[in-house]
Amino acid sequence: MTNSVKDIFLVEISELQHLADSFNNDFQKVFDSVVELILTSKGKLVLTGIGKTGIIAHKIASSLASTGTPAIFVNAAEAVHGDLGMIAKDDVVMLVSNSGSTSEILNVIAPLKTIGCSLVALTGNPQSALAKECKYVLPVHIEKEVCPLGLAPTTSTTATLMMGDALMVSLMQKRGFKAENFAVYHPGGALGRQLLHTVGKNMTRQIPIVQPDATLREIVRTMSDGHLGMTLVGTKEVPAGIITDGDLRRAIEHHPNIDDIRAKQIMTGSFKTIEEQALLTDALALIDRYNITTLPVTPTKDSKQIVGILSIHHIIDFE
């Protein structure tokens, strides 16, 4: 009987869960050491592999390179035929092999040691010949492949990919890599192109606004109609303040009689703005720094007039 798609997924998930459960404090120390090694390296990170595992290594290298870690992939078979020239002493080389006994991988170890670079093994067999040759070992051992013959790399390549993702995320966090950095590395992608646009091209000119004496009911109605989670208070030319969803929640929580609430009582008088000609990368930096979701937009840096509203949803748009 053929297994259902769900059954196949569940087998892989179960294997990966067992792998995750095996990670202890000792492993975390090794992982952290590898992250620090890559982070402080004066060279680049080189991933090498062959076959289907090599394809996974290539993907890991691409993901790392696109998120701020200089990384390349070198095919292990090609390495001994001249491509070792791409690797330098200050580089960190991550050798990827599920079995840890792939001949093409083992053949590059001696030349790599001669070059003098640091070696990391990413393998399903922490007792393998490969693991014994490397100072750092990242184990991705799984009990069985989801392939019914137990032969085709399936669960093992998924586990390897997940370890690569863990490295990528950890390095991004260590580097403080944000969406505005992502835009620089992806100028041809949808998000990259959008982040390099100006605020004025992405903001809405439909500005929610209430008067200082507006009631809670009026504030909520205006914010709901605007779909931005905020409203200005006063006028667009000289706004007196801003009310956000957070301001509303705090007001309802702390005021004994919500019917008495007025906009001028709960607004924030001083708020962040951004000029219309600024790049979305600049806007996103402000949003990240101050943990906000919207920015009122001014025509110039020194102007008080509000001509639009930029929301985080206007920025993170992959369509």
pLDDT tens, residue by residue, 39-57: 999 999 999 999 999 999 9
Final residue of a domain: which of 117, 145, 177? 177
Q: Is residue 272 in some structural domain?
A: yes
pLDDT digits (tens, 9 = 90+) for 162-194: 999 999 999 988 888 766 566 555 555 555 556
Distance of CA 317 to the CA centre of its chain: 15
Enclosing domain of residue 64: 5-177
Q: Is residue 241 in some structural domain?
A: yes
The answer to whether 223 touches 263, Cβ cutoff 8 Å, is no
Widest CA span of the chain, in angstroms? 80
Give me the pLDDT at residue 232, please: 96
**What is the sign of the dihedral through the CA atoms of 130, 132, 135 and 138?**
positive
Residue 258: DSSP 8-state = G
Residue 84: DSSP 8-state = G
277 and 134 both lie in a single domain = no
Question: How much is the pTM?
Answer: 0.62
Final residue of a domain: which of 110, 145, 177? 177
The answer to whether 263 touches 240, Cβ cutoff 8 Å, is no
Phi, psi (deg, nearest 5) at residue 204: -105, 140
101-135 exposure pattern, b = at least 16 Cβ within 10 A, e = fewer: ebebbbebbeebeebebbbbbbbbbbebbbbebbe
Length of the chain: 319
pLDDT band at residue 288 using 50, 70 and 90 as cut-offs: confident
Q: Is residue 187 in some structural domain?
A: no
